[in-house]
Amino acid sequence: MNIRGGNMTENKRKTTTSTAVKRRYNQKTYTVISASLPKELAAAFKAKCAAENVSQAHVIKKAVERFLAE
């Protein structure tokens, strides 16, 4: 038993292997693009994404797709 009263198998397992695999996959599959925005603009963007329950990455990806389709 551990300090919390359960046995060790009931607690979350360490997932360093899974994390490493996901990190390698993401590095192979994706490219990170960053932008510096004024703090007010970034805060408004984050707030609207949260209010609409949409990921920031999704909004940016759609904007890039629209731009490339022009």
Host H or E run for residue 5: none
Nearest 10 degrees: CA dihedral of 1, 4, 16, 26?
140
The residue with greater pLDDT, 14 or 37, is 37
pLDDT digits (tens, 9 = 90+) for 1-15: 455 555 555 566 666
The model's pTM is 0.66
Q: Which residue matches tokens 């590095």?
A: 27
